[in-house]
Structure 1
């Protein structure tokens, strides 16, 4: 029998003692911007019992503690996160974070949260669609163009035209 757990929609910055049962859906390492051979952070997308997905970053100074401890599509109990106002619904690992694998899952894994294209187009911000998956068909594309980001970084962007496959 599973213990009572918190859910992501109740998360706020005034508490450290969160206790979640989550599926780890995706796991990746972010390289350091100066030295690409070093890892700057480990990031993961996790899903709670209510099918809400959030990002759970592990900062550079905690990588040794957590590297090789996780597998995608496995369920874990995770507790003691820091939640910052600046990153809503993101659980940041800290020294006191604990993670234990769960042998017998008691809720269903739903790695894809499908959203309709019109819903995305009418969203107030892209942040409201963190973790959303959209299935579409690319029906056209423009040539790439060079742009400068808000942080002054030169990059290239390409615009695609997509069509809802329904």
Structure 2
């Protein structure tokens, strides 16, 4: 007989024997307010199969039992809680209750999740900017590109603790912008990405941030220990796998024809250059040197249609098995029509070469023979890319050895 589970929406203080099948969306350690070297509690956000969430807390008395044994974005069966009123401010969930761990609480990790995780509840920048009234008592998630930054500043809190403050500007796909203030460790986390001079967009997911409005200006900022910033460049291979999500059905797969029917053309920023200097349009900083990196447009076909994909440096290296500077001496002639023939270009976030996934997600109209032929074509194109993919074009005013690219229009 299958095990039955309770739903988070039904939680009330009338019983203790609750049994939940949930994901851990967020987990954070809160220092003891009298001794910051000790853990005062461990706070978590849980989510069930209906998408409802609740705040759970591990008090100091049982912290040692669970520290290091519960992880974010993993599924668990959790049982036996004390239910208390939710008086936290600002609130991380809409629930009026908090689940308190006790000595009787049990937690079992689930290796094969029974339903997909929806880890983030995003609010759009336009929604925040245009809201008549902002509710600063609830925390939310935001995804955007960092396009500008201010220099970090040192400051002291009301308790005398020294920390750092940094303001960055976020921009979404509709070119809406909003300022975001980062404090403490988040400044140290994001700062190196501005110093490395990468040409790839700096995409961030802000988890459990809050908003404020002062003198008509709307901004967002992190809130103590519950907030977290996820930086795409920090994701390690193996820590998160798009292939795993495809296999588990956590993300949908569309044909090229379906994608083209719903896609929007979004203009992208480019870096410009001054005489013997590189100027970064996002932050206004200049540099005297720049690394040669990939920015490759490839055309893909799946039987329903074709589309152009834009691969930045790391994804192109995955396909070509060479860095851009390793092939910069090769003579390459690319005509403008080769890369400007199609209007819609999409940036590739992950490249999957798993044959099982490719076979599973081929259009249903394709028969077995055509599927095999299509895979052969893909392999041939990838093989060709290893030798014919051009190095990233140097910015205006800087020439790259013998690489020749005929382009009249600025990208």
1:100 aligns with 2:108: yes
1:73 aligns with 2:73: yes
1:32 maps to which residue? Answer: 32
Which has the higher relative contact order, 1 or 2, with Cα contacts under 8 A spaced 6 or more apart?
Answer: 1
Q: 1 or 2, which has the higher helix percentage?
A: 2
Q: Pick closer, same or farther for the CA change 1:15–1:159 going to 2, 3 Å.
A: farther
Per-residue deviation, residues 26-54 of structure 1 (Å, max 9, x unmatched): 22211112211111111122211112232
Displacement after TM superposition at 1:138 (Å): 7.8
Q: Pick closer, same or farther for the CA change 1:162–1:62 going to 2, 3 Å.
A: same
In the aligned structure 2, how far is the partner of 1:153 from the partner of 1:2?
Answer: 52
TM-score (norm 2): 0.33
Q: Pick closer, same or farther for the CA change 1:61–1:136 going to 2, 3 Å.
A: same
TM-score (norm 1): 0.72
Per-residue deviation, residues 104-155 of structure 1 (Å, max 9, x unmatched): 2101011111234576686785455x5x3133578999xx9x9x9xxx9689
Q: Pick closer, same or farther for the CA change 1:76–1:60 going to 2, 3 Å.
A: same
In the aligned structure 2, how far is the partner of 1:80 from the partner of 1:56?
Answer: 12
Counterpart secondary structure, 1:95: coil
Flag structure 2 segments of 5+ consecutive residues without an equivalent: 89-95, 175-411
1:3-152 to 2 correspondence within 5 Å?
Answer: 3-85=3-85, 86=87, 88-116=96-124, 125-127=135-137, 130=139, 132-135=140-143
Flag structure 1 segments of 5+ consecutive residues without an equivalent: none
In the aligned structure 1, how far is the partner of 2:22 from the partner of 2:9?
Answer: 13
Q: Pick closer, same or farther for the CA change 1:15–1:161 going to 2, 3 Å.
A: farther
In the aligned structure 2, how far is the partner of 1:120 from the partner of 1:84?
Answer: 32
Kept in 2, the 8 Å contact 1:82–1:92? The answer is yes
